[in-house]
Amino acid sequence: MTMTDKKYPGLYIHVPFCPGKCPYCDFYSFIPKGDIVKEYVAETQRRLKETDLCFDSVYFGGGTPDKIGADNIKLLLGCVNFTSGAEITVECNPSDTGRENSAFDFETLRQAGVNRISMGLQSAVDSERRKLGRLSGVKEVQRAVEKIKSAGIENISLDVMLGIPDQTLETLDETLGFCVSSGASHISAYILKIEQNTPFYRMREKLNLPDDDTAGEMYLHTTGYLGAHGFKQYEISNFSKPGYESRHNLKYWRCEEYLGIGPAAHSYLNGRRFYCPADIDSYLAGAEPVDDGEGGGEEEYIMLALRLSEGLIFEKYEKRFGKKVTDEAVNYAKFLESKGLVCVSEKNISLTPRGFLVSNSVIGGILERNSP
Ligand code: SF4
C-alpha cells in the first residue's frame, strides 16, 4: 500500500451548546450555563488524547461550536493528530460571530488549522429568519462571511432551508442569490422537516407551510439555480463548486470510518457502530460509548451510496461485498430510468434530481430487489 492509498478516518466533535433553541430543531443542544463549557472542553480534551488515530478530516458540529470560543476550539485541535492536508470544518452561527461587536476570532481558527466554515444561513430573508427563531439578520450573516474571508478561510459552506413557513419561489431566489453572491463554495439545501417534540410540531397547523408539491418544486428549482451558477450537486442536499465537496461528509455516505466525540456523537470504526448518549452529565462523568451493532452492511451501503450523485458504483460494491448487484435490482432501476427517476450505466445506478425527491421509495424498491 502506498501512502496515497492509505485511508484515514474522519473525526466528528459534537459541541452541544446554542445561543437559543430554534423551534424546528431536534438536535441535542442547549444554552450553556455556569462552568459547563469549561468542563466540556476538559473532558473532550481527555477523550481526544486517548485516541492514537490520525484523521484526514475533522468536523466541529452541533449545536453551535463557536459557542465555546475560538481559543477552546484551538485547544481541542491541539489534542488531535491530523494529516497535513486535512479538511477541518467548524460550524458557526452568525448570531454569535456576525454581530458588530463580536469578539469571535476567525484568525485564531485559521492558525489552528481550520480551513472550512459551515454557516447556518437558512434564509436571506429576515422575516423568514425570524420565523425560524434565528437570532440574527442577514446583515450579520454577511458580516460573518466577510470576517471569515478576511481571516484567510476561503472554503465557506452555507445551509439553506426549503419549505419555510410563508416561503415562495421569489423569496427562495433571494436566498439563493445571496449564497451565490457571497462567494460560498458549498451549499447544503434541506427541505424543512417537522420533527416531533419541537415547537414547530405543536404549531404545525398554523405555520402556513408550503405543501409537499410546492416544497418539491422549490427543491427542483434550487438544483437548477445552483447548477446554473456553477454548483454541482453531489448529494441529495449538497452542492459545491468543483473540488469543494465536503470530504468529511462524503465519508458518511461512502461508509468510510469516523470517530465521534461529544454527547450525541456517533462513530463507525472497525466495522462497528457506537455512540455517546445525548446526555452531557454522563459525558462529563466519563461514560463509555454504547455499542450500536455492526455497520457498513450491504443495505446500509446501497442506501447511502444512492444519496450521492455518483450513485451505486458496481465495481466498488463488488470489491466490498464480493458479489454483484442483482439483475433484478438493475432491471428495476432501468424501469425507473424510463420514468426519469434514475440513470443506469455500465458503471453505476444514480438518482436524478426528481428521483432524489422520492428517494425513499426509489431506494427502497432497489434494495428490495437486491435481497438474496
Ligand atoms: S442553532 Fe442549529 S443546533 Fe442550535 S438550536 Fe438552532 S438549529 Fe438547532
Task: Find out whether 311 and 349 touch, Cβ atoms under 8 Å.
Answer: yes
Nearest CA to ligand 1 atom 8: 25
Comparing 185-189, 236-240, 293-297, the range with the smallest average pLDDT is 293-297
Q: For residue range 207-237, list pLDDT tens digits in order.
A: 989 999 999 999 999 999 999 999 999 999 9
Per-residue pLDDT at 1 exceeds 60: no
Mutate which of 17, 25, 132 for ligand 1 pocket (most atoms within 8 A of beta carbon): 25
Mean local confidence (pLDDT), 131-145: 91
DSSP code per residue over 262-312:
STT-EEEETTEEEE--S-HHHHHTTPPPEEEEE---HHHHHHHHTTBTT-E
Domain boundaries, the chain: 3-252, 309-372
For ligand 1, what atom is nearest to the CA of residue 21?
A: 5
Given the CA of residue 134, which atom of ligand 1 is nearest to it?
6
Phi and psi (nearest 5°) for 104?
-65, 130
| Separation of CA 2 and ligand 1 centre (Å) | 42
The CATH classification number of 309-372 equals 1.10.10
Q: Which of 35-39, 205-209, 255-259, 299-303 has the lowest mean pLDDT?
A: 205-209
Q: In the CATH hierarchy, which fold is given to the domain comprising 3-252?
A: TIM Barrel (3.20.20)
Q: Are 182 and 154 in contact (CB under 8 A)?
A: no
The pLDDT of residue 136: 86
State residue 321's pLDDT score: 95
How many A from CA of 104 to the centre of ligand 1?
18
- Please name the residue whose Cα sits nearest to atom 2 of ligand 1: 63
What grid cell was written down for 276? Answer: 455517546
Partner residues linked to 96 by β-bridges: none
Write the pLDDT tens digit of every residue in 72-100.
999 999 999 999 999 999 999 988 888 88
Residues 170 and 136: beta-carbon distance below 8 Å: no
Write the residue with the smallest CA distance to atom 6 of ligand 1. 22
- Whether 146 contacts 117, CB under 8 Å: no
Question: What is the pLDDT at residue 3?
Answer: 47
Q: Which residues line ligand 1 (CB under 6 A)?
A: 18, 21-22, 25, 27, 29, 62-64, 93, 120
Q: Which residues contact 270 (CB under 8 A, 6 or more apart)?
A: 257
